[in-house]
Amino acid sequence: MDIIIAEKPNVARKIASIFKNIKYIKYKNIGYFRSDNIAVISGVGHVYQLDQIDRNWRYPVFNISWKPAYQVDRDLIHTKPYIELAEMLRENANRIIVATDFDIEGSLIGYNIARYALGRDRDILRMKFSSITYSELNRSWNNLIDFDYQNAYAGEARHIVDWYYGINLSRFLMASLRAVKNTGLDILSIGRVQAPSLNLLIQRDDDINRFIPKDIFSVIAIVDDVEFSNDRRFDSKDDADRYISNLSSKGNVELIINEERRYIYPPDLMTLQERAYYIYKIPPNKTLSLAQSLYEKGMISYPRTSSQRYPPDLNIRKILESLNIHKSYIQKIISKDKLIPTSGKKTDPAHPAIYPTGISAEITTDEAKIYDIIVRTFLATLSDPMILEIREYRLDVGDIFTTKSIVIKDQGYLEIFPYTKIDTQEVSIDPGLYEVNYRIRKSKTKPPSRYNQVSILSKLEELKLGTKATRAAIIQTLFSRGYIYQEKGKIYVTELGRVIKNVLYNYVPDLFSESFTRALEEELEKVQEGEQDYRIVINKARDQLEKIFKELEGKEEEIGRELLKNLGSKIAKK
C-alpha cells in the first residue's frame, strides 16, 4: 500500500480528492482516506518534538531526541492518534510519499512521521506542489520525485540548534533569578535569533534617546512664487548667508520632461506582510497565519516564499475566469490577446510568488482582507504600468536648484490597486531668465525612526537573521515575553528587555552579535543546499554554546543579583 503523508487533515482531504474509489475512514477521534492500494494520512503540524532524554532540569544539556509531542507537552495530547494511525499502517506500507509543505519545516514533519511512525528513513518519495488545486496535486502525483532529505536535515539542524540555545540559556536565566529570589516572573527566555533581534531594537531605542536635535539651514530660491531647493545644508545662518552672496540675482530655468513607468510585481511573503500591515494594520505574524489558512483552503499558492515570479506554466486565463471578485476589472484584463505578468528580481527555488488559484471557499473577514490584497496584486501584475510625467525644473544661479512637478498620466494598475502612494504635485513656470529671490529655511535634524512590526522584519531580512517563516514569530515572542511593547504602531523596549540584554551582554556579547548569528544561518542554508553536513553544523553550534557556558559557569547568583538590582520591583510594560 502507498502511504501519503500530508501536513494537516484539510490538506489530506484535498490530496485524497484526486483519487478514485477512496473513502474516509474514522480512526479514534480522527480520520484518514483509504482505497485498496492508497492511504492518505496527516499530521497536525509537528507531531514529534525535541526533548532531553533524561528528566533532570540542568544546563547545558545536549542529550536530546525526538519524542511524540504528546509525551513532551500534555497540551499536545491531540497529536497522539495521528502517530498511532501511522504506526497501525506501518506493516502494510509499500511506498511512502511525503506530501507536506515543500520547505524545511514541512519536510521535517513528513520525515519524522516516515522514520519514527512508519519505520522508513530511506527510499522515501515526494509530492512537490505550490498550491493544492486538483490539477497541481494530480500533476505532482504523476511526477513523484525523490524525497528532499536536505530540507529535512536543515530543518532538523535548525530545531536542534534552536533547542540548544533557547532551552539552555532560558534555564540559566531562570536559575539565576531563583538563586537570589523568587521574582514571580513566569518565563525569562532568550534565543539564538531573539537576542540579536532584541539588540537591534535596543540600539534603535538608544540612538533615538541619545539624539540631540541640531539647527540646520537650507537656502530656498524663489522664482515667481515657485520654490527651488538643493541638497546643501549649513550649520549656521551666517554660512547660509555667505552661500547666497555667491549666487546670482538672476537665473535661467530649464525644463526636463521624463516619463516613468511603475509596475507592481508578484508578491513574496515579506511584500504581502508589508501590504497587509500598511493597508489594514494586520500584524505580520497574523498575516502569515491567515495566508496559511487560505492556502490550506486551496485559495492561494504556498505563502512562505521569497519569489517575485509566477511559475512559467501558470494558467493565468483559467484563474481569471474562476475568480469571483473584481469581475468587471477582470473582463478588461481578460480581453487582452496576451496575458504577460510582471516579474520581480527575487526568486525562490522551492516556491513561486503568491497567487490566487481561482478556488472559492468560506473565509473569515480577516482572511478576506488578505485574499483581496493577493487578488488585487495578481490583477495589477497583469495590468498596464502606471505612467508618471515628471517635469524637473532646473534653476542655474551659479549653483543648481531644482523643483519637480509629478503628474499621473495613466493610472494603469492603480485602478485595481489604489494603495500605491504617489506624492503628486504640479508646478507651472515657463523656461527662461528670471529674477531670483532667496530665503533661508531653518529646521532641525530628526532622530532615526522607530521600528514598527514590518520595518523590523525588513531589517532582519536584510541582515539574514531568521527565515521568512520565523521572523514574525520571533518578534511576537519578544512581545509575549514582555521585552518590547507597541504604542501608536511603534516598537519600544521595556525595562525588562533592556536589563536582559545589558546583563547578559556583559558576559556573552557574541550572543547579541548579528555576525555571530548570521554565520550560523549561512551554515544552515548550506545544509539545505547540500553543501554542508547537518551534523557538523549541530556540533559547531554545540561547541559555541559550551564556550558561552564556560563564561557563565558558577555566575548564576552574580547575574541573578544584577538582574534583580536592575529590575527592582517594577513590572515590565506590556
Spatial neighbors of 457 by CB under 8 A, at least 6 apart, are 270, 273, 284, 471, 472, 475
Element (H, E) at 180: none
CATH numeric code, 215-263+386-444: 2.70.20.10
Q: Is the pLDDT of residue 335 over 70?
A: yes
Maximum average pLDDT range among 299-303, 345-349, 545-549: 299-303
Asked if the model's pLDDT at residue 22 lies above 70, the reply is yes
Q: How far apart are CA 70 and CA 75, in angstroms?
A: 7
Identify the weakest region by mean pLDDT among 127-131, 432-436, 517-521.
517-521
- pLDDT tens-digit map of 271-309: 999 999 999 999 999 999 999 999 999 999 999 999 999
Q: Quick one: what percent of the chain has pLDDT higher than 70?
A: 98
Q: pLDDT tens, 456-498?
A: 999 999 999 999 989 999 999 999 999 999 999 999 999 999 9
Instruction: Return the biggest CA–CA distance within the chain.
Output: 94
Distance, in Å, from the CA atom of 184 to the CA atom of 78, rounded to the nearest integer, reads 31
Q: What is the 3-state secondary structure (H, E, C) of 494-537?
A: CHHHHHHHHHHHHHCHHHHCHHHHHHHHHHHHHHHCCCCCHHHH
Residue predicted with more confidence, 374 or 58:
374
Q: 165, 302, 329, 438: which one is catalytic?
A: 302
Q: How far apart are CA 250 and CA 526, in angstroms?
A: 63
Q: Where in the chain is the domain with CATH 2.70.20.10?
A: 215-263+386-444
pLDDT in tens, 228-275: 999 999 999 999 999 999 999 999 999 999 999 999 999 999 999 999
Range list for CATH 1.10.460.10 in the chain: 155-209+450-567
Is the model's pLDDT at 573 over the cut of 60? no
- Gap between the Cα atoms of 340 and 323, Å rounded: 18
Inform me whether the pLDDT recorded for 211 exceeds 80.
yes
489's grid cell: 504602531
Q: In whole numbers, what is the pLDDT of the chain averaged over residues? A: 94
What is the pLDDT, as a whole number, of residue 331? Answer: 96
Residue 137 CA from chain centroid, whole number: 26
Q: How far apart, in Å, are the Cα atoms of 203 and each of 320, 437, 449, 451, 512?
A: 47, 44, 12, 11, 11
- What's the CA gap between 261 and 249, in Å, rounded? 37
Question: Is residue 58's pLDDT more than 90?
Answer: no
Write down the pLDDT at residue 186.
56
Q: Please check the confidence at residue 574 and state whether its pLDDT lies above 50.
A: no
Please tell me the predicted confidence (pLDDT) of residue 183: 58
Q: Which fold has domain 155-209+450-567?
A: Topoisomerase I; domain 2 (1.10.460)
What does the alpha-carbon distance between residue 134 and residue 245 come to, in Å, rounded to a whole number?
Answer: 75
Residue 107 confidence (pLDDT) above 70: yes
The whole-number pLDDT of residue 182 equals 64
In this prediction, residue 425 carries a pLDDT of: 84
Domain with CATH 1.10.290.10 in the chain: 269-381
| pLDDT > 90? residue 428 | no
**In DSSP terms, which residues pair with 404 in a beta bridge?**
392
Separation CA 42–CA 44 (nearest Å): 7
pLDDT at 571: 38
pLDDT confidence of residue 572: 40
pLDDT score of 184 = 59
The segment(s) of the chain belonging to CATH 3.40.50.140 are 2-147
Report the pLDDT averaged over residues 376-383.
Answer: 98
May I ask the CATH architecture of the domain 2-147?
Answer: 3-Layer(aba) Sandwich (3.40)
pTM score: 0.91
pLDDT digits (tens, 9 = 90+) for 155-191: 999 999 999 999 999 999 989 988 887 655 556 788 9
CATH classification (class only), 269-381: mainly alpha
Q: Is residue 302 among the annotated active site residues?
A: yes
Q: Are 306 and 346 in contact (CB under 8 A)?
A: yes
